Amino acid sequence: MDIVRLSRLQFAVTASFHFIFVPLTLGLSILVAYMETRYLRTGDEMYRRMTRFWGRLFLINFALGVVTGITMEFQFGMNWAEFSRYVGDIFGTPLAIEATVAFFLESTFIGLWVFGWNRVSKRLHAASIWLVAIATNLSALWILLANGWMQRPVGYVLRNNRVEMADFMAMLTNTYGWLKFFHTVFSGYVLAAFFVMSVSAYHLLKKNNPQFFKASFRMAAAFGLISSLLVFIVGDFHAAEVAKTQPTKFAAMESVWDTQKAATYYLLIIPDPGNERNAVETIGIPRLLSLLAFHNGDAEVKGLKEFPKKDRPPVIATFLSFRTMIALGMLFILLTLMAYIISRKDRLESSTAFLRIMLYALPLPYLATQLGWIVAEVGRQPWIVYGLLRTSDAVSKSITPLQVMVSLIGFTLVYGLLVIMYIYLLSRFAKMGPDDELQAIIKPSGI
């Protein structure tokens, strides 16, 4: 492989591993904060136990997320020095704010929350976990605003063969960045809801602490249903934004080759790997694609033939990732709706088949979030900054393919071990439950 493909593969590996932990951190922090708020308001000891149990799982996930995230930023200097030189004046600003404000805020208050049990007031302790949750989501905001700028660059001037900040507010109010933020965090909330429901389903099938895990399941089901609907709504606006600002990506997402007005949405398209233009189209709904893209059934949707071949993204990977992500999103709405109805009717313990479905459904939201990033990043190719800087021009000039290959193997091995450790720790502590054996391992005075 050449240096560009190796560097892209390395960043894809590290980013994919890191994003295993991020969505659960975003959503579980909110759920744990809500659980402790319920304890503060009601004084019900069950909510205190709930906060401590799910809080321990949150901490395991949070710690590994921090570890895997740090190495990603080093690659901007090692593998992508030309990118850093070209966009450093703009890209550095949101990342610096994220590190100095959001990350330090969550790091400070997570320490207070971990060691503050029975040492600070209940109100201060509950406030600390809310600040962690807010800071965690705020951290995602600045990172996604930076990524949103790469997708739709605004508020800049070209000077001395690099881009410089001309209007910070333009970047701060970039519609693409905000839609990406809400789509990503709501997806994280869905994943966290499935995580809580899956662990709860395991214990309900084992008849362990039924009241505790029925309450946890019911809370997560409501959270997941609301979040999955929000993902669907925001996703619709996000797709329209993509159609407007990144027409090549949108055409690849829907495998549209010929420009057409009142475009038909095909329920199933089977691309031909040998010739992507010879896709097999099945039953379609007239005008629906134009309606989804521009909220106008008569609007024109540009096809890939409108653009030079060198400016087109990989179609099959983008299309299949997008369609699979959409299918999973619809499945999540159905499953969370069923989970909410069954839990509200107090029929969880008797619904063993559904509990098994929810237990084994846990990998699906992880898959959906990874597919979303494939759509976002592969669909943007061949640009690293859309319309401004090609990926092939952003790689460092001073490194060799051998150096990248060695570091890629090293990252993959280390991250693979971390994921194995992560799965082991999560499953071990999740299976223990909130009482007895877990309390014997961890002192009651701390998390």
CA-CA distance, 82 to 91, in Å (whole number)?
A: 13
281 pLDDT more than 60: no
Lowest mean pLDDT across 263-272, 310-319, 438-447: 438-447
The answer to whether 40 touches 48, Cβ cutoff 8 Å, is no
Q: Does 137 fall in a domain?
A: yes
What pLDDT does 440 receive?
Answer: 40
Lowest mean pLDDT across 83-92, 222-231, 308-317, 380-389: 83-92
Confidence of residue 269 (pLDDT cuts 50, 70, 90): low
Q: Does 301 fall in a domain?
A: yes
What pLDDT does 336 receive?
Answer: 95
User: What's the mean pLDDT in 61-71?
Assistant: 79
What pLDDT does 338 receive?
Answer: 93
Of 114 and 193, the one with more pLDDT: 193
323 pLDDT more than 70: yes
Q: Does 405 fall in a domain?
A: yes
Closest CA to 158 of 167, 166, 150: 166
User: What's the mean pLDDT in 321-331?
Assistant: 92
438 pLDDT more than 80: no
User: What's the mean pLDDT in 352-361?
Assistant: 92
Q: Does 189 fall in a domain?
A: no
What pLDDT does 270 receive?
Answer: 61
Confidence of residue 364 (pLDDT cuts 50, 70, 90): very high
Residue with tokens 């992560």: 422
What pLDDT does 278 receive?
Answer: 52
C-alpha torsion angle, residues 378, 384, 15, 77 (rounded to 10): 160
Residue 381, phi then psi, degrees to nearest 5: -60, 150
Domain that holds residue 409: 3-184+248-328+362-441
Exposure of 39 in the CB half-sphere (CA atoms within 13 A) = 21
Dihedral of alpha carbons 407, 72, 69, 239, sign: negative
Q: Does 156 fall in a domain?
A: yes
280 pLDDT more than 70: no
What pLDDT does 437 receive?
Answer: 43
CA-CA distance, 433 to 53, in Å (whole number)?
A: 7
Residue 153's region, left for phi above 0, alpha for psi from -120 to 50, else beta, is beta
User: What's the mean pLDDT in 384-404?
Assistant: 85
User: What's the mean pLDDT in 375-384?
Assistant: 91
- Mean pLDDT for all residues in the chain: 85
pLDDT by residue (tens digit) across 73-115? 777 777 888 888 888 888 888 888 887 777 778 878 888 888 8
Number of domains in the chain: 1
The answer to whether 86 touches 389, Cβ cutoff 8 Å, is yes
What pLDDT does 277 receive?
Answer: 52
CA-CA distance, 208 to 51, in Å (whole number)?
A: 17
Lowest mean pLDDT across 139-143, 286-290, 309-313: 286-290
Q: For the full predicted model, state whether its pTM sits above 0.85.
A: yes
